[in-house]
Amino acid sequence: MNESSPRQGSSAASKRKDARRNQQTLLDAAAAVFVTSGVDAPVREIAAEAGVGLGTFYRHFPTRADLVIAVYRHQVDNCAEAGPALLAAGPTPFAALERWVDLFVDFLVTKHGLAAAMQADSTGFEALHAHFLDRLVPVCSQLLDAAAAAGEIRPDLDAYHFMRGIGNLCIGTDSDPRYDARRLIALLLAGLRQPHRT
Amino acid sequence: MNESSPRQGSSAASKRKDARRNQQTLLDAAAAVFVTSGVDAPVREIAAEAGVGLGTFYRHFPTRADLVIAVYRHQVDNCAEAGPALLAAGPTPFAALERWVDLFVDFLVTKHGLAAAMQADSTGFEALHAHFLDRLVPVCSQLLDAAAAAGEIRPDLDAYHFMRGIGNLCIGTDSDPRYDARRLIALLLAGLRQPHRT
DNA sequence: TACGATACGGAACGCAGTTCCGTTTTACAA
DNA sequence: TTGTAAAACGGAACTGCGTTCCGTATCGTA
């Protein structure tokens, strides 16, 4: 149900050589543009950077969001894979959870505006949102369950809410240097340690 | 430095009768449209609802965001005024803080997409963001300080971060009925009660 | 080498916010 | 009451965005 099947439509071996090359060129160009101009960079800018036309862009990525997914797919997967590893390594499940959250936040904050783009409603990033959640919620769930089982945190918060909360708190880190999302996320984690509300 | 001086350019008595009437018509129309279509409703839709042209719209509100501010100004002010009242009434400062947060969240969540629109970067809502913060941060600060002075919460979180956090957590409440922002906000409040991190 | 399938480029479309300007309405003075 | 300048009006038009469409170029094979 994941990367093991090579039926990815926009990443596996398509057909013609130039097509494959252009797809990769677009991915590279997008990665570069996202660094300088943020994930909201216009499609035209990405296509120009890649030196291809708009038609080419949209044949490879039916929608702007599909490109964003493709660009960040690896990193989402890395984040997902880090979960179990941290759990195995860390002194306690909660410590692993903290480290994982840190990784997750790094990811969101490093890419300019990614967190904001993840809001399902706005510009059509539902697909990104969905992939994110599909891949990461189970991992996060595992970490939360382990910490709850160890009695380190209250057990009444599902991974979906937890991740949405963190994702939301990361919004706007670029636009305002005063804002420190990690501080609030730390508070959220502190709140998790509180005993069940009477 | 606030509503006492009648120099508000877009709310006080301007000059001509039709101008004043149209301004009010636009405010009413906007309030109505925001309820049905959210704060992201196109300017054209609002102008049409009001039965005026686009020129009229932009003479009264130089920018889309200025209209949004004008529409919600009263409610922001109400929220600001509620702070001291709750502090005086509540059994403890923390209880007042909880109630005030509830009010604030109501406000953000009731208006479709307001929380999302408040992100400074996106569509030009810096002005709304600014008014919000100017008006509410001092109030929130007062509540936090009182609770901290009473030893009910840790004293190391400034009102700006607290409000940004709450605002961010409220993002996306319309787009996904599963998501319950209040739950996460409660967690944030619980985190506030934790003693200072060693 | 020829030719059909595949991919390409970019003009064009729809939909935002905003600007501009010719026309209408208002308020006031004669 | 009527003339007139200032103020306000309406909406066509401009910019910038994502996306679609289609004539043209390229690829791979017979």
Taking 60 as the threshold, does the pLDDT of residue B5 lie above it?
no
Taking 90 as the threshold, does the pLDDT of residue B132 lie above it?
no
pLDDT tier at B119, thresholds 50, 70, 90: confident
Q: Which residue of A has its CA nearest to B178?
A: A161
pLDDT tens across the length of chain A (198 residues): 333 333 344 445 668 999 999 999 999 999 999 999 999 999 999 999 999 999 999 999 999 999 999 999 999 999 999 999 999 997 999 999 999 999 999 999 988 888 888 877 666 677 778 888 889 999 999 999 999 999 999 999 999 999 999 999 999 888 788 999 999 999 999 999 977 544
Nucleotide at minimal C1' distance from the A53 CA: C9
Q: Look at residue A130 and give its three-state secondary structure.
A: helix
Is the distance from CB of B190 to CB of B150 less than 8 angstroms? no
Please count the residues of chain B: 198
Average pLDDT for chain B? 88
Whole-number Å distance between alpha carbons of B194 and A194: 8
CB contact under 8 A, A161 and B183: yes
- pLDDT value at position B126? 76
**Residue corresponding to tokens 């660009």:** A71
Q: Look at residue A76 and give its three-state secondary structure.
A: helix
Is the distance from CB of A92 to CB of A86 less than 8 angstroms? no
SS (H, E, C) B128-196: HHHHHHHHHHHHHHHHHHHHHHCCCCCCCCCHHHHHHHHHHHCCCCCCCCCCCHHHHHHHHHHHHHCCC
Is the distance from CB of A152 to CB of A93 less than 8 angstroms? yes
- pLDDT value at position A8? 40
Whole-number Å distance between alpha carbons of B137 and A130: 35
What are the structure tokens assigned to B184, written together?
């996460």
Q: Specify the fold of A64-193.
A: Tetracycline Repressor; domain 2 (1.10.357)
Taking 50 as the threshold, does the pLDDT of residue B8 lie above it?
no
Taking 60 as the threshold, does the pLDDT of residue B2 lie above it?
no
Whole-number Å distance between alpha carbons of A173 and B163: 14
pLDDT tier at B112, thresholds 50, 70, 90: confident
Which residue, among A198, A184, A135, has the nearest Cα to B184 in the 3D structure?
A: A184
**Within 7 A of a protein CB, which nucleotides of strand D?**
7-13, 16-23, 26-28
Could you read off the pLDDT of B27-86 as tens digits, one per residue?
A: 999 999 999 999 999 999 999 999 999 999 999 999 999 999 999 999 999 999 999 999
CA of A42 to C1' of C6 (A): 27
Whole-number Å distance between alpha carbons of A37 and A54: 18
CB contact under 8 A, A116 and B120: no
- Percent residues over pLDDT 70 in chain B: 88
Topology match between the domains B17-60 and B71-193: no
Which residue, among B32, B59, B63, has the nearest Cα to B46 in the 3D structure?
A: B32
Taking 80 as the threshold, does the pLDDT of residue B135 lie above it?
yes
Select the residue from A160, A174, A183, A184 to test the B interface by mutation, using most B Cβ atoms within 10 A.
A184
Could you read off the pLDDT of A99-152 as tens digits, one per residue?
A: 999 999 999 998 888 888 887 766 667 777 888 888 999 999 999 999 999 999
- pLDDT value at position B44? 97
**Within 7 A of a protein CB, which nucleotides of strand C?**
6-12, 15-22, 25-27
pLDDT tier at B161, thresholds 50, 70, 90: very high
- pLDDT value at position A111? 87
Q: Specify the fold of B71-193.
A: Tetracycline Repressor; domain 2 (1.10.357)
Compute the nearest-CA separation of B168 from chain A (Å).
5
CB contact under 8 A, A187 and B186: no
- pLDDT value at position A4? 34
Is the distance from CB of B179 to CB of B172 less than 8 angstroms? yes
CA of B15 to C1' of C24 (A): 17
- The 10 Å CB-count burial string (b at 16+, else e) for B7-38 is eeebeeeeeeeeeeebbebbbebbeebbeeeb
Tell whether B191 lies on the interface with A, counting CB pairs under 8 A. yes
Is the distance from CB of B184 to CB of B169 less than 8 angstroms? yes
- pLDDT value at position A59? 96
Tell whether B25 lies on the interface with A, counting CB pairs under 8 A. no
Whole-number Å distance between alpha carbons of A146 and A97: 9
Residue type (1 letter), B78: N
**A17: CB within 7 A of chain D nucleic strand:** yes
- pLDDT value at position B123? 67
- pLDDT value at position A198? 45
- pLDDT value at position B13? 65
Residues 150-189 of B with CB under 8 A from A: 157, 160-162, 164-165, 168-169, 171-172, 174-176, 178-180, 183-184, 186-189
Taking 60 as the threshold, does the pLDDT of residue B115 lie above it?
yes
Residue type (1 letter), B68: V
How many Cβ atoms are within 10 Å of B142's Cβ, its own excluded? 18
CB contact under 8 A, B116 and A120: no
What are the structure tokens assigned to A3, written together?
């990367």
- pLDDT value at position A78? 95
Tell whether B130 lies on the interface with A, counting CB pairs under 8 A. no
Q: Look at residue A134 and give its three-state secondary structure.
A: helix
DSSP state of A176: -
Domain locations along chain B: 17-60, 71-193
Is the distance from CB of B48 to CB of B42 less than 8 angstroms? no
CATH number of A17-60: 1.10.10
Q: Which residue of B has its CA nearest to A154?
A: B187
Q: Which residues of A touch B190 (CB under 8 A)?
A: 190-192, 194, 197
